Structure 1
Amino acid sequence: MRSNSSDGRTRPAALSEALHNARHALETGRPADAERIAAEILQANAGDREAAKVLGYALMMLGRNAEAVAVLEKASRGNRDAEADTAFGIALRQAGRGDEAVTAFNRAIKRDAKYPMAFYELGKTFAERGRIDEAIAVFSRGIAVAPTMIDMMARLGKCHLAAGDRKNARRCFERVLGLAPGHYATAEALAMVLMDDRDYAQAAVLFRAMVTANPDNAQARLGLANCMLHLGKDDAAYENMRAAAERGPKFYGQALRLAVTAQRGRFWLRPSDAEKAIKNRR
């Protein structure tokens, strides 16, 4: 029994099963196993592009980016495979060859203008290099292709925020949470935007949801405490500061700084009094 590969060739059933096992190894965080299996497939069938892609991803996960570049360059050469070009671009970027990565991602988009990961990786590359306007343009094109791709929408929101456009950042973050209410990194980002807009009540709703989902989330507790201070709910604010302070010295310092420097809430003549208020539960 034989199956078809993505390049139109037939693949023996044993190699198809091996490829399945290699992909599963990647998905379950076992890159060394994925590397071994993919390499065995390529020994039996040197032109198997799917195995080459798996091998490239495995090598990247193992931190062997230069080797991944060599493998994925062969996989992308002469083929109209946007995924191979995108994987090649990722390897180039991780190997510190950003300009070449941009070329690879653009080639992937040219080959398949509906492959969202090419837009995502190109936008990510621009953002990491500080080319925020270009990142926004690419992510926006990608969202038009994949409107429910939450990671791309979240990154677009962060880029808008970096560009000082809180309105569009807020719109992106709200869209992400509409699709994935449990995306707490975005919930925190949106809550911070809301606080900048002085919408403390709505920010508190988000921080409270994060605290409910994870009572040990000290950063969310501090955000909630800040909102409570601005809403005139001092007791709730200090309860959350105390809970955050219990998570370790780092958060204790942040809680104390919030208590002392907050423009709302209690006024402390001495920082030591604020320290006592945070340390001692009522």
Structure 2
Amino acid sequence: MNSKAILFAVFLFVILGRHDLGETRSSTSAQELLNLGMIELGKGRYDRAVDALREAIRLSPDLAAAHRTLGETYAAFGRNQDAIACFLEASRLDPLDAQAQIGLGNAYQALRRPREAIGAFKQAASIQPNSTEALVNLGNILASVGPLEEAIEHYKRAVTLDPALVQAYANLGMTYRRLGRDDEAAAAFSKAIRFNANDPALHSMLGDAYAELGQYAEAVESFNQLERMQDPSENLYRRRGFLNLYLARGDGAAADGRACLDVIGWQAEASQYMALLAHFGSRQAEKPEEAARMLEESANRCNQSKWPYPVLQYLRGELESREVLARAINNDDRTEAHGYIGLDLALKGKIKEALEHFSWVREYGNRQFVEYKFALAELKRMEDSGKLPGPEVK
């Protein structure tokens, strides 16, 4: 090889070597900028993250992770349309990036484009079948737009992969409840509580599921657990109070009724119902003086122009039962009137008369009302104790 050929070869080596070195530097710099962008994103400094990631992409346009992380950054401060463009580019560059599909699904969901979100989450689950994040996100959006049965299947797959996935169990339980499958809902909430026993919301949801199943003692215990974790509220006192009434736990019913009145006062919509709860609870507990005091206080402090004040008047002996029923202007009012009149008569030992009112509630009453539920509870107590009258002999 002559000297000119040698010089030309050296020249090519130097030029090509510099080109490769430049690419290496660009690639290394892009990776460093990607790492910096991820750090800034984690610290919530989105402007700095965007600057670093854009520069990384300028230096290395094919760096899929930079596009995905830029999409995550845009999504973090609400620029979801820009985030979608980044996630789509990341997916084009790396079709096996499940996180890009998850980010894409989240961005679509934020923009209320559920069908596209479902497609992205399904793609993520297809790429990475063991991704509980993809499965839970897919379950969440299907729980919103349906079908609910499909949402349940994704939640179940997620908890099979990770039995300690509390949120998946909670969402599974809520979806079961929407389908009226309260026994399965209670089981799901119970499993969630096994892994996070200090979450008040889980105990609240479990209590509601038990109540719907008619497992009132278990529901009360769930609400007792809830009370130990947070300051009691009107909602807690009201829900637990009527459960205690269903169970004929008079002291508990009376205490919850009085406690609720202490919270809401005497002019709230629920005030008269809480007075009734406290009154009947005291009677169940065989404390007639306390029951009478509650009626006396209600006469002085309740809004006498509102329903169910006539029921309180009846209990004080100011109205006959037929007069109360005459003032009930619709079926809901009649459900309440028959329920409370029946309970009054039952506590007086007038079983036959009470049965007439409870039977009306069972046949015609609003099944969503607490009065319907305590009427059924009283009928069952009568049946279990043998107090129901037998058929008439002709």
Q: TM-score, normalised by structure 1?
A: 0.79
Give 3-state SS (helix, strand or coil) of 2:112's partner: coil
**C-alpha RMSD of matched pairs (Å):** 3.3
Corresponding residue for 1:20? 39
- Give the letter aligned to residue 227 of structure 2: V
Residue number among 29, 43, 50 corresponding to 2:54 in the alignment: 43
Query: Structure 2 unaligned runs (5+)?
Result: 1-26, 284-290, 303-394
Residue number among 77, 91, 113 corresponding to 2:92 in the alignment: 77
CA distance in 2: counterparts of 1:250 and 1:164, whole angstroms: 35
Native 8 Å contact 1:222 1:240 kept in 2: yes
Give 3-state SS (helix, strand or coil) of 2:71's partner: helix
CA distance in 2: counterparts of 1:250 and 1:143, whole angstroms: 47
Corresponding residue for 1:130? 146
Residue number among 213, 216, 222 corresponding to 1:200 in the alignment: 216
CA distance in 2: counterparts of 1:277 and 1:175, whole angstroms: 48
Q: Deviations over 1:155-191 (max 9, x none)?
A: 1111111112122111111100111111222211110
Which range is displaced more, 74-83 or 206-215?
A: 74-83
C-alpha displacement of 1:243 = 3.1
1:86-105 → structure 2 map (5 Å cutoff)? 86-105=102-121
Native 8 Å contact 2:53 2:69 kept in 1: no
Give 3-state SS (helix, strand or coil) of 1:253's partner: coil
1:26-175 → structure 2 map (5 Å cutoff)? 33-34=45-46, 36-46=47-57, 47=61, 49-50=64-65, 52-79=67-94, 80-175=96-191
**Count of residue pairs the alignment pairs up:** 262
Native 8 Å contact 1:222 1:255 kept in 2: no
C-alpha displacement of 1:260 = 4.5
CA distance in 2: counterparts of 1:251 and 1:212, whole angstroms: 28
Corresponding residue for 2:247? 231
- Give the letter aligned to residue 253 of structure 2: A
Q: Deviations over 1:74-125 (max 9, x none)?
A: 2333321212111110111121211111111111011100110100111111
Structure having the larger proportion of residues in helix: 2
Which range is displaced more, 52-61 or 39-48?
A: 52-61
C-alpha displacement of 1:55 = 4.2
Native 8 Å contact 2:139 2:155 kept in 1: yes
CA distance in 1: counterparts of 2:298 and 2:78, whole angstroms: 45
- Give the letter aligned to residue 74 of structure 1: E
- Give the letter aligned to residue 83 of structure 2: A
CA distance in 2: counterparts of 1:95 and 1:145, whole angstroms: 29
Native 8 Å contact 2:84 2:108 kept in 1: yes
Q: Deviations over 1:33-69 (max 9, x none)?
A: 23x1220121220155555445434444433332322
Give 3-state SS (helix, strand or coil) of 1:77's partner: helix
Higher relative contact order (CA 8 A, sep 6+): 1
Q: 1:205 to 1:16 in 2, by over 3 A?
A: same
C-alpha displacement of 1:72 = 2.4
C-alpha displacement of 1:277 = 10
Larger Cα Rg: Structure 1 or Structure 2?
2
Native 8 Å contact 2:158 2:168 kept in 1: yes
Native 8 Å contact 1:208 1:220 kept in 2: no
Identity %: 22
Q: 1:274 to 1:66 in 2, by over 3 A?
A: farther
Native 8 Å contact 2:136 2:168 kept in 1: yes
CA distance in 1: counterparts of 2:162 and 2:174, whole angstroms: 18
Native 8 Å contact 1:244 1:251 kept in 2: no
CA distance in 1: counterparts of 2:176 and 2:236, whole angstroms: 23
- Give the letter aligned to residue 94 of structure 1: A
Query: Structure 1 unaligned runs (5+)?
Result: 1-8, 26-32
Native 8 Å contact 2:266 2:301 kept in 1: no
CA distance in 1: counterparts of 2:116 and 2:143, whole angstroms: 16
- Give the letter aligned to residue 188 of structure 1: S
CA distance in 1: counterparts of 2:70 and 2:264, whole angstroms: 42
Q: TM-score, normalised by structure 2?
A: 0.58
